[in-house]
Amino acid sequence: MAETQFKYDVFISYNHADEKWVVGALLPTLENAGLKACLDDRDLIAGRKAHVEIEQALKASRALILVLSKHWFKGEWTQFEIDIAITRDPAGKRYPIIPLLREAGIESRIPASIQRFNWIDFTRKDQALAWKQLSDALGNPATFKPSNLQPETHWFYGHRYGDLATFTGRAAEMQMLDEWLANDTDNLLLITAFGGFGKSALTWQWFNNRVDKAKWQTAVWWSFYEKESGFESFLAETLNHLGVEVKQSARLQLNDLLEAMRGTNILIVLDGFERSLRQYGRMDAALQSDDEDADIDPSQRDCSSPLTETFLRGLSGAGMKSKVLMTTRLCPRVLESADGKLLRGRREEPLAAFSPEDAVTYFHNEGVKATRAEVIEACGAYGYHPLSLSLLVGLINADHERRGDIAAVKNLEIFEDVKARRHHVLERAYGSLAPERRDLLSKMSCFRGSMEYAVLKKVFPSPDLDKTLLDLRKRGLLQYVSPLLLGEGAGVRYDMHPIVRHYAYDRFTDSERKETHKDLAFHFIDIMVDVMPMPNRKVKTLEDLAPVIELYHHMVGAGNLDEATLLYYQRLKAPIYFQFGSYQLAIELLRALFLDGEDAPPRLKREDAQAFALNELANAYALSGQPRRAVPLFIRGNEPDEKSGNKKGVAIGLGNMAQQQLDIGALNAAERNLRRQIDLCRVIADEFAEAVGHLELGRVLSYRGVWQEAGENLLIAQNVFEKAGPETNFGSVNLSYLALRDMLLLRLDTTKQQYLLSALNFCRRALEWSDNTTRIVREAPRDYIRAYWLLGAAYRANTELTLAEENLSKALNLCRQINAIDAEADILLDVARLRYAQGDFKDAQEKASEALVITEWSGYVLQGADVNLFLAQYALEQEKDKAKAKQYAETALKLAYCDGPPYYYKVAHEEAERMLEKLK
């Protein structure tokens, strides 16, 4: 395509907020196809006037690509670039201008001067089509070969496993993994086993030595055992590696990752996935033992975050080209059907112990002098448990009298129970250490995860440190990660198997543990002061908070819970809540203050600090979609204010708990608390807080079907908010609640057009109010979400489907941008209703099913009733399955019952009754 009169084939106009995609995907694809592209910050000459350089570069380019996103419209230079291009060729005949749509929902913002050019949609799933259209637009349909559709990528190691020079055997398991990777039926494989069976070692060895890198050019290894390695960190880091823009919302990141996984074959290994389950979702998970005989409640196998469950569900279905290998102690319940069987496309392979032959090979490779029979006799006593065998080898090779001879362990006490034998060999391995080495191992167990050698050298100074670390490695008690594996700039790291860590930690007395945590806290205080001044504007990722979280961990371990609480408030709360929205991390950190469990108060000295911790944890649960866990904490968090007579504090607490009680269908308690809130506000003459109480009471009464009183309360509130004006966002909230009341009334009688017209009016006013609040004070995204949702629902009810689509799309996009899980199911349900009206029944069922997952995971009772009603209708009308429809309708009836009439979800309850009557 290149011609002599043009220096560049194409000039790329983009905002630098989109640089990752431009540099990571667009530019390599163009250059791999032999095209020369001009980027302003790379190709323009520094020191010259920018506008002159840009104009010259545009003249030297045969075509102009516009990378359109919300950021593009904010750029001064991007506007200048398009103005120059249009001035150069107003008709657009000689100088191709090619807009690339990189973000959905911005079409209305594209000016008419650009709208006249056909854009290429890079927001859809079919990326291959978009690349072909770009090739065609640049004048050579053959330019982009299939191999160039995705830029060359490399394997990404989010974390590294320790040294495996002595890895032995597992031939059958390796073959099974090879076959799984080659098949077209299972997208997800689970390797399950309790601790010490070698799940991580097996998958690490296979990943690095058996996977064909020519076929799997893009691969990711991620370990949830590492610090700050939760699911949200996995999303952001993986997308960054793939060259995909990392949006601020984890929900949008999830969509982008699933889209990338459908577009190309990516192999992802998720090691230690149990850390993402409720059973192990704790800050001290590294010290948590697993009991093979424990009767674990099935709910403990739920993911700690609904995002994680959405990811696992998204791995199935047509078009998924990628594969995921998971190692975990427990199978996530989301992967099972109601009868406990794995869903289609999922496969579980329990990892057994070593085979006798593998054990013999391993012992001989380690230089142990023994016959085959002697090895089998010794190893059989421990059930061929890999970790136990590693410790046995360590004992043999460290024995002073019979070093390297299996006779060194023949006198070990053999218990009747195999698990007791495994524990005993660990006990012997620990006990055989010199006292100072036992002490170091237990001190190292106080860390949350892997440890840098430089840190160990500083906090545990000893001339024998290197010898001690080497000895612990040889004995199988410590793992070593080479800096060659970790990459440039990394240092040596050490880690411990969770079973070893738990045992070593338990060997310390309480006072010894506290003293060690105290010493480590001082080290991390120094780091925090040096590199993280307050306020710290350098925090870009959760990993940047690692020193502060480590300090928090050691403060808690040292028993300094009050200081830890202050640290959380000053250093962690703001970035975790407002910057990252990482509510699950907040839960893990705050739960550490509740040493006696969440049913008891946190061990803090002052009652106001206890109330703070209780309310913070309750808020974290509420925002993460766990209202049932939030309610009891809100109740207890209110007790200090009740005791001290702080009526305003009590009123606020009552309002907080009532909102969560409404979500779980506790309508009686919610109404009682809101009426008391209103009474208290009258006593202290706080008119505004009283109005907030009326607002929420109006919503509760609307769901109960007490229409007149609901309207009266909402109008009382609106009068107060009107006086305050748009400086308060509550006017928008209340107007949306008035619209909600009308939409519920419309469900009782669809012929009453006045309800629909009234709802439309209230929604428009709510949006107008939010616009004014945004202009005067700040944006309140949740208010826009609520108003767009209800406006879209009203347009759908009025058969204005295009407007319904527009507003529901806005609501859903904004909802996912801020991860407002409490609103998502309602919006998805109305999108499902819209699809049903449009005749797209498949998508209607998919959207409703997605909403059902949220309501079931979170326990949202009222939303769950509505979703089940829709699915009952779908089963009856589209699937002609009366039994299935009846099951959904019965579930809806049960959910809508709440506390029983009159404290029930009236509209949904009556709809369910009518449906069941129809099904008789």
Kindly report, residue by residue over 257-288, the tens digit of the pLDDT. 999 998 888 999 999 999 999 888 777 777 77
Confidence of residue 152 (pLDDT cuts 50, 70, 90): very low
Kindly report, residue by residue over 543-578, the tens digit of the pLDDT. 788 889 999 999 999 999 999 999 999 989 988 887
Which token pair is 29? 């694809």
* Distance in angstroms (rounded) separating the CA atoms of residues 272 and 285: 11
> What's the pLDDT score for residue 147?
41
The domain limits of the chain are 8-148, 156-350, 356-437+474-507, 510-623, 820-920
C-alpha pair distances (Å), 449 with each of 159, 619, 915: 12, 28, 55
- Which residues contact residue 815 at a Cβ distance below 8 angstroms, ignoring those fewer than 6 apart? 251, 785, 789, 823, 824, 827
> What's the pLDDT score for residue 3?
44
Kindly report, residue by residue over 224-249, the tens digit of the pLDDT. 988 778 898 899 999 988 888 888 78
Please report which residue ranges of 664-752 form alpha helices under DSSP H.
Answer: 667-683, 687-704, 707-724, 730-748
* Distance in angstroms (rounded) separating the CA atoms of residues 350 and 337: 19
The pTM assigned to this predicted structure is: 0.74
C-alpha pair distances (Å), 564 with each of 555, 557, 602, 624: 6, 10, 12, 23
What CATH superfamily is the domain 156-350?
Answer: P-loop containing nucleotide triphosphate hydrolases (3.40.50.300)
> What's the pLDDT score for residue 93?
66
Identical fold between 8-148 and 156-350: yes
In DSSP terms, 589 is beta-bridged to: none
Asked if 57 and 80 count as a contact pair (C-beta separation under 8 A), the reply is no
> What's the pLDDT score for residue 291?
64
Element (H, E) at 8: strand 8-13
Kindly report, residue by residue over 692-732, the tens digit of the pLDDT. 999 999 999 999 999 999 999 999 999 999 999 999 999 99
Within a 13 Å sphere around the CA of 255, how many CA atoms are in the beta-carbon half?
16
Task: With a cut of 60, say whether residue 511 has pLDDT above it.
Answer: yes
Confidence of residue 529 (pLDDT cuts 50, 70, 90): low
First-to-final CA distance of the chain: 71
Task: With a cut of 50, say whether residue 635 has pLDDT above it.
Answer: yes
Indicate the burial class of 622 (C-beta count within 10 angstroms; 0-12, 13-18, 19 or more). buried
CA dihedral 825, 831, 833, 834 (to 10 degrees): 170
Length of the chain: 920
- CATH fit for domain 8-148, picks 3.30.450.20, 3.40.50.10140, 3.40.50.970, 3.30.590.20: 3.40.50.10140
At how many degrees (to 10) do helices 730-748 and 687-704 cross? 20
Greatest mean pLDDT among 126-140, 392-406, 741-755: 741-755
Chain centroid to Cα 250, Å, comes to: 6
* Distance in angstroms (rounded) separating the CA atoms of residues 38 and 855: 49
Total Cβ atoms within 10 A of residue 186: 20
Question: Mean pLDDT over all residues of the chain?
Answer: 87
Selection from 704, 711, 790, 709 nearest residue 748 by Cα: 704
Please report which residue ranges of 777-840 form alpha helices under DSSP H.
Answer: 781-797, 801-817, 821-838
Class of 820-920 per CATH? mainly alpha
